[in-house]
Every structure is written in structure tokens, then in C-alpha cells.
Amino acid sequence: MMDTLLDVEDLWVRFPSRQGVFDAVRGISFTLGRERLGIVGESGSGKSMTGRAILRLIRPPGIVEAKQISLGGVDLMQKTEKEMRAVRGQRISMVMQDPKFSLNPVMTIGDQIIEAYRQHNRASKTEAYAKALEMLEAVSIRDADRVMRAYPHEMSGGMGQRIMIAMMLIPNPEILIADEPTSALDVSVQRQVLDIMDKLVKDRGMGLIFISHDLNLVADFCDRVLIMYAGRIVEICEADKLNEAKHPYTRGLLNSLPRLDAPRDHLEVLKRDPAWAQAPSVSGRI
């Protein structure tokens, strides 16, 4: 039996608006063990909101409700904002979509990593510097000395994303939430970044929540996949059996992809059934 790192039960994310309350996430439940869990769906399906809600990063007027979000038996919903700060980064880290917006443009990369490290650990500057170098090398950045002195705008997208991953991994978190970490990258670089994440997750026995809109990528990279539609989980399957998925929505998404090995005149267009949004969420708890 796999030990459970994170247990989410009946999670709701709501945004009050002039037209009434909008439910972005509607009562989803899942657990995360030491595995790679993929969350896929279209834009607006609530996948990113799920990732943010776990870290309690949704600001008012947004409302997060859940029976529990427990991390190693402790409910995150009960924690104060101050206690949450010890969780964020330290125990659960998050890698965002675009490295251009998540790095400080007026600080060198070295200074940022050192700052992140010293935030969580008592260490002298020299120790922190050595640790930062070591982390950059762990994410296969050659010439780490030069990168430490460089500013974010001097880095390519792939480099930036690797730096973000390095920074997130320094406190050695138990769970890494990656929100579309490779969507802004080229295919060739995408592979490298995924390989690095994969290796780190395996070596450290971390749990990974991988949020993406790319079905093929998730099928390839994750162990288990949750498919979200309109704020609910419509289907859960083993990643290698994604091609045997049964739900019409998953099938529709898979069929709407152009394929090199099966040329067609017209791609299949997803026909949405209002019943999908009404059907209760499938539980992803083990």
C-alpha cells in the first residue's frame, strides 16, 4: 500500500460575481501518494484552481471550502496564514507556467536562489551559495557559475523553468505542484525539463501533481490521471491506459488531436453534453 501524502476531500472553489456565485471547482476528492498524478482539462476546467487551492493561494473574494485538505494527517484548512507560510515552499512547492513572470527581473538568479534558501534554512552566505550551485547543477545547468551572476532576461525559457524547479527543490519539499510547467517551452526543451523533474521526483520520493492541458504529455509522463471538466473530475485512469478511457469527454479530447500516423480530412470536434457538467464528481481517493 502506497502511503498517502495528501488527502483532498470535497474541495470547492467559489467566486462571487454580479451574476451570482461562480463555482470554479465543485466538490472534488483525491489522494496523492509518492506518485506522479496528472490533472488534465481544458482552460476553465478548474485544474489550476485546484493546485492553488491546495496551497491556499486563492485570495478573497475567492472562497475555498473543503471537508479536509490534509498533509500528513494535518488539515491545511485549519491552519492560520502564518502557519501556512511554513508549509508553502517548505513542504509543498509550486512551479508556475511561465518563468518570465515568476522570477524577479531585477535580481540576479544567484541572489534569488540564495534568498529562497536562507528563507527556510539558517545558513551563511557561503553555504547558501554552494547549495545554490549544487541545485543548479542538479537541474543540468552547465556553467552554473555564470548563471548565478546572470539576470532572468538573459536566460531562455527552458533555462528559466529549470531555475524555477531548482529553487522549488532547495527546501526538499514532500510535494511538488507543477502548473503547466512546460507549456511555454519548445518540444525539444520540454523533454529535458520533464526528464529532470522525473529524476528528482524518483530520487527524492516526492509526490508530484502535474497540471497540464496536453493529454499525450500526461499519458507519457504520469502514473495516474484525473480528467477535469467544468470543475469536476469526470474520469480517473491509469496513465498508460488513457487510450482506453471511456468517458465521452476524454474520448473527444483524444480524438480531436491531429495525428501523424492517422491522417484525416477533418478532425473530430468535441460535442459537449450538458449532462457531463451535472454528473457527480468521481472520487480520486485511494
Partner 1 sequence: MSMLDIDALNVWFGSGRDRVDAVRAATFSVAKGESFGLVGESGSGKSTILRAISGLAPHWSGQMVVEGTPLTKVRPKAFYKTVQMVFQDPYASLHPRHSVDQVLGETLHLHGFSDIDARVVKLLDDVGLGQKFRFRYPHQLSGGQRQRVAIARALAPEPELLLLDEPTSALDVSVQAEILNLLVDLRRDRGLTYVMVSHDLSVVGHMCERLAVMKDGAIVEIMGVETLRKMEAKHPYSQSLLAASV
Binding site for partner 1 (CB under 8 A): 42-43, 157, 186-191, 213-215, 252-253, 256-261, 263-270
Residue 161: partners with Cβ closer than 8 Å, 6 or more residues away: 95, 99, 181, 182, 184, 185, 193
How many residues are present in the chain? 286
Nearer to partner 1, 149 or 272 (CB): 272
Q: CB 87 → partner 1: shortest distance, Å?
A: 32
Residue 1: partners with Cβ closer than 8 Å, 6 or more residues away: none
Q: CB 213 → partner 1: shortest distance, Å?
A: 6
Nearer to partner 1, 9 or 198 (CB): 198
Q: CB 272 → partner 1: shortest distance, Å?
A: 9
The answer to whether the beta carbons of residues 32 and 207 sit under 8 Å apart is yes
Nearer to partner 1, 24 or 64 (CB): 24
In angstroms, the CA 173 to CA 204 distance is 9
From the CA atom positions of the chain, what is the Rg in Å? Answer: 20
Nearer to partner 1, 132 or 218 (CB): 218
Nearer to partner 1, 114 or 197 (CB): 197
Nearer to partner 1, 206 or 219 (CB): 219
Q: CB 268 → partner 1: shortest distance, Å?
A: 7
How crowded is residue 145: how many other Cβ atoms within 10 Å of its Cβ? 10
Whose grid coordinates read 472562497? 63
Helices and strands per DSSP (H, E), number in the chain: 11, 11
Residue 150: partners with Cβ closer than 8 Å, 6 or more residues away: 108, 109
Q: CB 267 → partner 1: shortest distance, Å?
A: 4
Which residues, in sequence order, are bridge partners of residue 188?
none
Q: CB 276 → partner 1: shortest distance, Å?
A: 13
